Amino acid sequence: MRPMANGGNVEEPRVKEAKHQSRWRAHVVPLCFVAPAAILLGVWLVYPVLFTVVRSFFDRSGEHWVGVENYVALFTSDFLVTAIRNNAIWVAVVPAVVTAFGLILAVLTERISWTAAFRLVVFMPMAISLFTAGVIWRLVYEKEPDRGALNAVIAAGQETLRPVGELAEAAPSTDAVREHPPGGLALAKSLKPGDVALLGLTQIPTSDVRKSAVDAVRPDALASGISGVVWRDFRPGGGTPGTVEREELGLPAIAVELRDERGEIVSETTTAADGTFAFEEVAPGDYVTSIAAQNFARPFEGISWLGASLVTPAIMIAYTWVWTGFALVVIAAGLAVLPRELLEAARLDGASENQVLRHITVPLLAPVLTAVFVTMLINVLKVFDVVLAIAPGSVQDDANVIALAMWRTAFGGKSDFGLGSAIAVLLFALVLPSLFLNMRRFRREV
């Protein structure tokens, strides 16, 4: 090594230069790899966020500065207040319910031999999009029992307990027959022994009349009783209402009641094939002859699950159905690594299964349960597609949530991008705390 005139060393500048180049490479090379991702994040994430925040202070057209006017509208417009209130209900109910269902199913499935198959079935809704799940549940919630699966099940149970009446669509043919308070039809005037009750009905399709029915006849009067006929007061080509005529069918197997002046049932009977009936040996007095209410029992018409009052709970049930599988799989994975000796020791000490679950399983699973809960919290704040798919247009205002309100305001026909941007900023601000909570949890675990 050749010494320099000032007592230094010739190689020192080269060493310094080499170190400088090494430090330069240590910074530049990673930047070259990070730059493409950073540029994409800047273009597709940072810039849209900043632009949305700025756009929220302008009017619909984006030409005039309106300050915080759009943010004031968030809490004064009924449309947006409903969305915020519904989102608060979602946050309060769905994450806790999904986490609880996941925990219960994870614990229960540990005791069955076909655990994998059960978990696969429960997790299966996660394999489809939320919009598709919403379409499925829209069909389930249809009001007509012959179309909606849920109402069809209810209708089957109800009709088993209370069969549909044969005269569900029938109506009086004349003013002589009127509605009776218990739900049936009765003659408007009272009868005495020896009178004949003519109970004519219309609006009965031929297909609804029993095949055993024959032409109706006017029965003979009974000296000490009351007779009558229930018939379909209609014949092809016309006829005289209230009069029993040829080709008019009697209505068989119809329950008929005889009530006294106080409205109490004195006697009951059913009509013959020609629609006639008779109450024999009736004590003197005034009576009301009525067709019993069970003959008019209407078929189950369905519950309006997608009506204004039930649409939000209905959508929450569908959303819970989709995400319970996710909670089950995650919690079951955490449950699989729990120290079994603690659980067995608790059982040997006499702890019940409920006590083991509350005092050992749940505390040990706290990190996993928190992860599921926070994930669901973020998801319900952003819920959009399942609401759009399930809620009919007539009740979307009642089922509205923040994300849907933002889309409808900005892109759904209103084209108010100023207010839509303000809603997006609100949604972003609501999601941020959950994101920070998740980040802190990940750092603690690492």
Q: Between β-strands 185-187 and 226-232, what pairing exists: parallel, antiparallel or unpaired?
A: unpaired
Whether 231 has a pLDDT exceeding 70, the answer reads yes
Please name which of 318, 288, 278 lies closest in space to residue 186, comparing C-alpha atoms: 288
Using CB atoms within 10 A of its CB, is residue 116 exposed (0-12), middle (13-18) or buried (19+)?
Answer: exposed
Those residues whose C-beta lies under 8 Å from the C-beta of residue 4, and which sit 6 or more positions away, are 10
DSSP string, 119-185: HHHHHGGGGS-HHHHHHHHHHHT-SSTTT-HHHHHHHHHHHHHSPPPTTTT-EESSTTEEE-TTSSE
From CA 31, how far away is CA 35, in angstroms rounded? Answer: 6
Whether 57 has a pLDDT exceeding 90, the answer reads yes
Residue 35: in which H helix or E strand, if any? helix 12-41
How high is the pLDDT of residue 221? 92
What is residue 191's DSSP assignment?
B
Calculate mean pLDDT across residues 308-331. 94
Calculate mean pLDDT across residues 331-346. 85
How high is the pLDDT of residue 399? 93
From CA 422, how far away is CA 54, in angstroms rounded? Answer: 9
Fold classification of 171-296 (topology level): Immunoglobulin-like (2.60.40)
Cβ proximity of 131 and 389 under 8 Å:
yes
Whether 109 has a pLDDT exceeding 50, the answer reads yes
From CA 249, how far away is CA 209, in angstroms rounded? Answer: 8
How high is the pLDDT of residue 256? 94
pLDDT digits (tens, 9 = 90+) for 239-267: 788 899 988 999 999 999 999 888 889 99
Please give the mean pLDDT across all residues of the chain: 87
CB environment 2-34: b (16+ within 10 A), e (fewer): eeeeeeeeeeeeeeeeeeeeeeeeeeeeeeeee
From CA 301, how far away is CA 281, in angstroms rounded? Answer: 42
How high is the pLDDT of residue 1? 45
How high is the pLDDT of residue 325? 93
Higher local confidence (pLDDT), 263 or 24: 263
From CA 186, how far away is CA 257, in angstroms rounded? Answer: 9
- Domain definitions of the chain by residue range: 69-154+305-445, 171-296
How high is the pLDDT of residue 13? 67
Whether 346 has a pLDDT exceeding 60, the answer reads yes
From CA 331, how far away is CA 99, in angstroms rounded? Answer: 9
From CA 90, how far away is CA 86, in angstroms rounded? Answer: 6
From CA 364, how far away is CA 370, in angstroms rounded? Answer: 11
Whether 16 has a pLDDT exceeding 80, the answer reads no
Cβ proximity of 218 and 198 under 8 Å:
yes
Q: Where are the beta strands (DSSP E) in 271-358?
A: 276-279, 288-291
Calculate mean pLDDT across residues 414-442. 86
Paired strand residues for 268: 257
**What proportion of the chain, given as a percentage, has pLDDT over 70?**
93
Residue 257: in which H helix or E strand, if any? strand 255-259
How sure is the predictor about 45, in pLDDT bands with cuts at 50, 70 and 90?
Answer: confident
Q: Find the range with the poorest average confidence among 242-246, 303-307, 435-439.
A: 435-439
pLDDT digits (tens, 9 = 90+) for 155-210: 888 777 777 788 888 999 999 999 887 788 999 889 999 999 999 999 988 888 89
Cβ proximity of 109 and 119 under 8 Å:
yes
Q: Which conformational region is residue 146 in: left (phi greater than 0), alpha (psi within -120 to 50 degrees), or beta? A: alpha
How high is the pLDDT of residue 11? 59
Looking up tokens 């669509």 gives: 169
Q: Which amino acid would we find at residue 331? A: I
Whether 444 has a pLDDT exceeding 90, the answer reads no
67 SS3 class: coil
Paired strand residues for 177: 187
Q: What is the CATH number of domain 69-154+305-445?
A: 1.10.3720.10
pLDDT digits (tens, 9 = 90+) for 29-39: 778 888 888 89
* Cα distances (angstroms) measured from residue 409 to each of 34, 65, 74, 240, 424: 37, 19, 11, 62, 10
Encoded tokens for 157 = 């149970």
How high is the pLDDT of residue 19? 63
pTM score, whole prediction: 0.76
